[in-house]
């Protein structure tokens, strides 16, 4: 009886903590470039598309971003770790909540300072320019700016990682394997800092395999300097889970710590939200475990998810 009473008390405490954990709204937005971004002729910050009919809760999709920025989310009890969140949106838009601020709130609960990247979208891009190029430039610049403000934001510059969703996962995969010289000409002293992430989380990275389907994109070359990585995909994702499998295999061959989860179903684009008939909403729990065991999280804190839609 005492054991059961203790267990019940622990469960109640965990539920209360998960529901009442404090979250903070974004503290500020910071533009990445002192003037126009590389190859741009406009400084338009973007605009949100009208909500899609019947979408509940709604999803924010920002288009026409010519002047990229980061939204800064500060935790109540920072632990020195920072994460740049690179949302998806197929490069034509940036999903700032479902694959941005909602993940930032989860990370804040773990003591991690989060930065949601509003990278440039693909309108007006030259036909021969890779979709990932300008978002990669923006991500590299963002990582450097974050490290430049490490003292201001109570960060350890050696504990700055990335969290990429979908197209943002593709950018993240290129970023974490990129050559150290960077993808743009240096514009100020901040560009002397490193942009390479110290760890990475890639959630359903989009189209990271080449046309053959048997190899990673040529820009994704995993080597001994590639950081420890956590990967999530679903078996039924039209953007094949083989991409995540190949990334994991490359990390394994290099002896780099890695963890891969391929769920049976759940599709694509779920972000932090549940999908009826799937267990995909549990992936943040697995990521929390991984962050904790790597010394990157304040505590083991599982969000409470609905389970009524799971298959019996």
Residue 65 lies in a domain: yes
How far from the centroid of its chain's Cα atoms is residue 132's Cα? 15
Of residues 98, 14, 9, 6, the one with CA closest to residue 300: 14
How far are the Cα atoms of 140, 158, 187, 198, 220 from residue 194, in angstroms, in the given order? Answer: 8, 10, 14, 10, 18
Q: What is the pLDDT of residue 305?
A: 40
> Helices (H) and strands (E) in the chain — how many of each?
6, 11
Residue 298 lies in a domain: no
User: pTM above 0.85?
Assistant: yes
Return the exposure string of 205-238: e unless at least 16 CB atoms fall within 10 Å of the residue's CB, then b: bbbbbeeeeeebbebbebeeebbbbbbbbbeebe
Residue 136 lies in a domain: yes
Pairwise CA distance, residues 269 & 206, whole Å: 10
The CATH number of the domain holding residue 14 is: 3.40.50.1820
240: domain range?
2-39+56-293
Pairwise CA distance, residues 234 & 301, whole Å: 24
Q: What is the pLDDT of residue 161?
A: 98
CB atoms within 10 A of CB 311: 9
Residue 197 lies in a domain: yes
Is the C-alpha dihedral spanning 21, 300, 158, 179 positive or negative?
Answer: negative
Pairwise CA distance, residues 52 & 73, whole Å: 26
Pairwise CA distance, residues 138 & 127, whole Å: 19
Residue 152 lies in a domain: yes
Q: DSSP secondary structure string, 88-103?
A: -SBTTBEETIIIIIHH
**Which residues have a Cβ under 8 Å from the Cβ of 299 and sit 6 or more positions away?**
110, 111, 292
Residue 30 lies in a domain: yes
Q: What is the pLDDT of residue 298?
A: 81
Q: What is the mean pLDDT of each successive set of 10 residues along the chain, which is 312 residues long?
A: 42 36 62 97 96 93 98 96 98 98 96 98 94 98 98 97 98 97 96 98 98 95 98 97 98 98 98 97 97 87 43 32
**61-63/82-86 β-pairing:** unpaired
Question: How many distinct structural domains can be found in the chain?
Answer: 1
Pairwise CA distance, residues 255 & 225, whole Å: 10
What is the helix (H) or strand (E) element at residue 249, kind and residue range?
helix 242-254
Q: What is the pLDDT of residue 17?
A: 34
Residue 238 lies in a domain: yes
Backbone angles phi, psi at 128, to 5 degrees: -95, 5
CB atoms within 10 A of CB 142: 26
Residue 285 lies in a domain: yes
């Amino acid at each position: 009886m005492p054991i059961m009473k203790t267990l019940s008390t622990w469960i109640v405490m965990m539920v209360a903590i998960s529901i009442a954990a404090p979250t903070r709204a974004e503290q500020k937005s910071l533009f990445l470039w002192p003037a126009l971004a590389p190859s741009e002729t406009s400084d338009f910050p973007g605009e949100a598309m009208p909500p899609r009919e019947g979408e509940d809760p709604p999803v924010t999709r920002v288009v026409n971003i010519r002047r990229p920025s980061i939204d800064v989310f500060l935790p109540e009890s920072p632990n020195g770790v920072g994460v740049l969140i690179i949302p998806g949106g197929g490069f034509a838009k940036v999903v700032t909540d479902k694959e941005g601020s909602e993940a930032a709130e989860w990370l804040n609960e773990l003591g991690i300072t989060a930065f949601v990247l509003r990278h440039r979208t693909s309108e007006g891009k030259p036909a021969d320019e890779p979709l990932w190029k300008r978002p990669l430039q923006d991500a590299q610049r963002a990582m450097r700016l974050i490290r430049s403000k490490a003292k201001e934001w109570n960060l350890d510059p050696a504990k700055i990682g990335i969290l990429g969703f979908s197209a943002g996962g593709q950018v993240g995969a290129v970023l974490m394997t990129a050559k150290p010289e960077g993808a743009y000409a240096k514009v100020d002293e901040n560009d002397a800092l490193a942009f390479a992430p110290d760890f990475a989380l890639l959630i359903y990275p989009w189209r990271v395999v080449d046309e053959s389907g048997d190899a990673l994109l040529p820009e994704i070359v995993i080597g001994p300097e590639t950081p420890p990585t956590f990967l999530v995909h679903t078996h039924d994702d039209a953007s094949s889970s083989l991409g995540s499998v190949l990334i994991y295999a490359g990390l394994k061959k290099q002896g780099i710590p890695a963890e891969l989860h391929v769920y049976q179903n759940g599709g694509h684009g779920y972000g932090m939200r549940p999908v009826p008939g799937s267990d995909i909403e549990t992936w943040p729990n697995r990521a929390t475990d991984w962050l904790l065991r790597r010394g990157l999280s304040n505590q083991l804190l599982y969000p409470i998810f609905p389970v009524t839609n799971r298959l019996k």
